[in-house]
Amino acid sequence: MCSNIIETVNLCKKYKTTYAVKDLNLQVKKGEIYGFLGPNGSGKTTSIKMLLGLIKATAGSVTLFGKQLESDRNHILKKVGALVESPSYYGHLTGYENLKIIQRMLNVSEKRIEEVLNIVRLTKAKNKLVKQYSLGMKQRLGIAIALLGKPELLILDEPTNGLDPAGIHEIRDLIKSLPETDGITILISSHLLSEIDQMATQVGIISEGNLIFQDSIEVLRNKSDSQIRVRVNDANKAKIILENKFDDSIQLDANSNLILNKTDDNHISLVNNMLVDSNLSVYRIEEIKSSLEDVFLNIIKGEYS
């Protein structure tokens, strides 16, 4: 028995001659919030559609809850709630009626409608026609629809796409609150790392159809190691002094600042003393930390070059 809720093996989708997704090996464990990241057009939505059986894989397999998607589709989909791409809804019906349709089709109790309306805070707007909803409300309705069947796995494809910062924040809070209450597993895709940074526990990064990173978000954070930048009046002289002393090559950046890779306090104080003792003027000592966003961009860039 494997503990992976989602497991894909060498999943491929080929359109004519190009691969939209190639050899995708996703592994999502129970209870995780898995951030599925990638630039636009990298194959996120294609992958998600294959997970749900909306499109057929050219090669490879999808296993959800330890069962093959192809052979056990209906059984698996009972435990899955999904929001795929742009919101879809019956605009001529109210929010409540939209939920009612899905509730009847899933054959769950009618009480569940009020419950999900409450979770996504649409109770007040439930009797308004959905075409009058704001984009944020429509997106929340989409999440409500996904939650109706009390899913064990929630798949959200770019739920924050096109929303304003307040809307993004609201959706983020909503998603963060879910696993605690229901113990569900969530896969959420986005093209912005910052969006899922604060909620994801695992991260998968896809670029041009290839999964180029998959690990916990801590591992990704550790890639964002910091450096110390030192500004002195004579950078070249300082460089020679430090290199002789520490037997370590020291880089200069474009503005003739020294870049030190060792960042512990003792080392920095030592460096400072030496520079001062050599009659150099130390103007500035500062830490530079690359953001997760930089790490993300570097990973993607590394894949292109």
- Residue 91 in contact with another protein, rule: CB under 8 A: yes
85 binds another protein (CB under 8 A): yes
H or E element that contains 174: helix 165-182
* Residue 60 sits in the site that holds another protein (CB under 8 A): no
274 binds another protein (CB under 8 A): no
Q: Which of 80, 199, 211, 230 binds another protein (CB under 8 A)?
A: 80
Nearer to another protein, 80 or 205 (CB): 80
Q: Is 89 in the site for another protein (CB under 8 A)?
A: yes
Q: Closer to another protein at the Cβ: 78 or 229?
A: 78
Nearest distance from residue 243's CB to another protein, in Å? 60
**CA geometry: angle 238, 290, 193, nearest 5 deg:** 170
Least separation, in Å, of the C-beta of 82 and another protein?
A: 5
Farthest-apart Cα atoms in the chain, separation:
81
Rounded CA separation 113/93 (Å):
15
What does the block give as tokens for 284? 């500035």
Nearer to another protein, 80 or 300 (CB): 80
Residue in 49, 112, 126, 172 binding another protein, rule: CB under 8 A: 49
Q: Closest separation between CB of residue 92 and another protein, Å?
A: 5
Say if CB 223 and CB 69 are below 8 A apart. no
| Piece of 87-95, 214-222, 255-263, 278-286 that binds another protein (CB under 8 A) | 87-95
Is residue 59 close enough to count as binding another protein by CB under 8 A? Answer: no
Nearest approach in angstroms of CB 65 to another protein is 13
- The 10 Å CB-count burial string (b at 16+, else e) for 60-93 is bebbbbeeebeeeeeebbebbbbbbeebebeeee
Contacts with another protein by CB under 8 A: the residue count is: 33
Distance CA 267, CA 135 (A): 53
Residue 121 Cβ vs another protein, minimum distance, rounded to whole Å: 21
145 binds another protein (CB under 8 A): yes
Residue with token string 């950078």: 235
CA-nearest of 82, 294, 116 to 188 is 82
Query: Does the protein bind another protein through residue 71 (CB under 8 A)?
Result: no
Position of tokens 């969006």?
A: 195
Stretch touching another protein by CB under 8 A, among 75-83, 159-167, 189-197, 250-258:
75-83
- For 143, the 3-state DSSP assignment is helix
Binding of residue 20 to another protein (CB under 8 A): no
Exposure string of 3-21, with b = 16+ CB inside 10 Å and e = fewer, is ebbbbbeebbbeeeeebbb
By the rule CB under 8 A, 54 interacts with another protein: yes
Strand 226-232 to 80-83 pairing = unpaired
Alpha-carbon gap, residue 25 to 61, rounded angstroms: 9
Contact between 242 and another protein per CB under 8 A:
no
Candidates 51-59, 189-197, 217-225, 278-286: pick the segment binding another protein (CB under 8 A).
51-59
Positions touching another protein (CB under 8 A) are 49, 52-56, 73-78, 80, 82, 84-86, 88-93, 97, 100-102, 104-107, 145, 149
